[in-house]
Amino acid sequence: PPPLLQVRDLRKHYLRPQRWLRPAMPAIKAVDGVSFSVARGETLALVGESGCGKTTTAKAVLRLIEPDAGSVQLDGQELLTLSAREMRLRRRQMQIIFQDPYASLDPRLKAGAIVAEPLRNFGSGTAPEQRERVQWLLARVGLRPEAVKKFPHEFSGGQRQRLGIARALALNPRLIVCDEPVSALDVSVQAQVVNLLMDLQAEFGIAYLFVAHDLAVVRHISHRVAVMYLGQIVEIADRDPLFTAPLHPYTEILLASAPVPNPHLRTRRLLLQGDPPSPANPPAGCRFHTRCPIAQPICATTVPALGTRPATTQATRGEHQVACHFR
Ligand code: SF4
């Protein structure tokens, strides 16, 4: 069977607002040829520095941002050619949890109405059935029954994120896009919310496309990890080989500069030099060559393809793919 989600050669370029002043101004290549798949019940994390295109990729999968080109298939069905109405129906199965639940919850609605909204929109069940489902959902995410009558501002950050999860869960989705779902929360609360997401996955077989920059969280929750740099995936592998034996120099540096020290990596302190180049004018050849510690002349001229490498550890799920001439 096809994977739950199959994304091929996804592209999203933004024209910049000042473009009318200088028409030659190049578009920002936020997502530039991204391909990956997510299996049923699996968590694929998208990681990388801010501005690498991970959030744009996640939103383009749901068509919350309309991609320019590529293919997004859910269960073998192409989503990018669906009409707005058809896409709305497909969204039943694809939900999103945002970084800042406060911004995504209507402040004028009580929690009960917020969680009931998707049920009402899709005419799922009678009014009493909907009320019962809302109570069940709130309890399932760890909120008390009284929460039904509270407004978003009356909850803590962690509780608001639980509310966002209850709403995302309402229609039994098969895929939830999690856009930095815990980065705005205190560390102790982060662990609770991540564990809740993992419990829900085990119980309902939900797949997550998990966008995050916190590698400790990613290491805890994901089955596979895709590393993005300047709008492209540079490495994609199962979690353990990626964290213990990364192949791409960018992944190595990302892991080595993370606050949680990784005992498996060589102790030499690696730090990224300088800011990432502009996605409007990405470097020719390998996009990482301007910051890569092992770059060679070929890197500045020839684009390395994302290719499969032999498994370095006992990989069980996916292949280990990397885009580098020398790895
Ligand atoms: Fe570095 Fe060259 Fe590999 Fe790019 S292709 S990551 S510049 S060694």
Give the separation between CA 51 and CA 31, rounded to whole angstroms: 10
pLDDT of residue 261: 52
222 CA → ligand 1 middle, Å: 26
Tell whether the model's pLDDT for residue 267 goes beyond 50: no
Give the separation between CA 82 and CA 48, rounded to whole angstroms: 30
pTM for the predicted model, two decimal places: 0.92
Q: What is the pLDDT of residues 193-225, one digit of tens each?
A: 999 999 999 999 999 999 998 899 999 999 999
Instruction: For residue 121, give both structure tokens.
Output: 């929109």
Alpha helices per DSSP H over the chain = 54-61, 84-90, 101-104, 111-121, 127-140, 157-169, 187-204, 215-221, 239-244, 249-256
Average pLDDT of the residues in 146-150: 95
Give the separation between CA 68 and CA 53, rounded to whole angstroms: 14
Tell whether the model's pLDDT for residue 16 goes beyond 60: yes
Q: What is the pLDDT of residues 26-56, one digit of tens each?
A: 788 899 999 999 999 999 999 998 889 999 9
Tell whether the model's pLDDT for residue 173 goes beyond 60: yes
234 CA → ligand 1 middle, Å: 10
Residue of 233, 248, 325 best suited for mutating to test ligand 1, as the one with most atoms within 8 Å of CB: 325
Alpha carbon 31 to its chain's center = 13
Of 63, 62, 33, 57, which Cα lies nearest the Cα of 45? 57
Of 236, 269, 230, 237, which Cα lies nearest the Cα of 253? 269
Give the separation between CA 315 and CA 241, rounded to whole angstroms: 7
The most confident of the ranges 238-247, 260-269, 276-285 is 238-247
135 CA → ligand 1 middle, Å: 53
Beta bridge partners of 28: 14
Ligand 1 pocket by C-beta < 6 Å: which residues? 248-249, 286, 288-289, 292, 294-295, 299, 304, 324-326
| Complex confidence, ipTM | 0.99
Looking at the chain, the number of H-run helices and the number of E-run strands are 10, 12
Contact 6, 37 (CB under 8 A): yes
Residue of 234, 254, 272, 292 best suited for mutating to test ligand 1, as the one with most atoms within 8 Å of CB: 292
Tell whether the model's pLDDT for residue 260 goes beyond 60: no
With a pLDDT cut of 90, the percent of the chain lying above it is 72
Q: Lowest mean pLDDT: which of 37-46, 52-61, 263-272, 312-321?
A: 263-272
Question: Average pLDDT, whole number, for the chain?
Answer: 90
pLDDT of residue 26: 74
Contact 283, 277 (CB under 8 A): yes
294 CA → ligand 1 middle, Å: 7
Of 129, 201, 191, which Cα lies nearest the Cα of 169? 201
Q: Which residue has the tokens 């509780």?
A: 159
pLDDT of residue 252: 93
Give the pLDDT band of residue 153 (cuts 50, 70, 90): very high
Contact 61, 72 (CB under 8 A): yes
How many angstroms separate the Cα of 253 from the Cα of each of 244, 265, 283, 327?
13, 10, 19, 14
300 CA → ligand 1 middle, Å: 9
Contact 71, 8 (CB under 8 A): yes
pLDDT of residue 310: 78
Q: Lowest mean pLDDT: which of 28-32, 65-69, 80-84, 129-133?
A: 28-32
Give the pLDDT band of residue 138 (cuts 50, 70, 90): very high
Domains of the chain, earliest start first: 40-64+82-222 (3.40.50.300), 226-327 (no CATH)
Residue of 232, 253, 299, 327 best suited for mutating to test ligand 1, as the one with most atoms within 8 Å of CB: 299
pLDDT of residue 259: 62
DSSP reduced 3-state for 7: strand
Instruction: Catalogue the E-assigned strands of the chain.
Output: 5-14, 28-38, 43-47, 69-74, 77-78, 94-97, 175-179, 207-211, 224-229, 232-238, 307-309, 320-322
pLDDT of residue 23: 63
327 CA → ligand 1 middle, Å: 8
Q: Lowest mean pLDDT: which of 63-67, 100-104, 148-152, 282-286?
A: 100-104
Q: Is the dihedral of CA 48, 205, 181, 243 positive or negative?
A: negative
Tell whether the model's pLDDT for residue 17 goes beyond 80: no
Tell whether the model's pLDDT for residue 315 goes beyond 60: no
Contact 228, 234 (CB under 8 A): yes
Q: Nearest residue CA, atom 6 of ligand 1?
A: 324
Give the pLDDT band of residue 273 (cuts 50, 70, 90): confident
Q: Nearest residue CA, atom 3 of ligand 1?
A: 324
270 CA → ligand 1 middle, Å: 15
Instruction: For residue 60, give both structure tokens.
Output: 């383009």
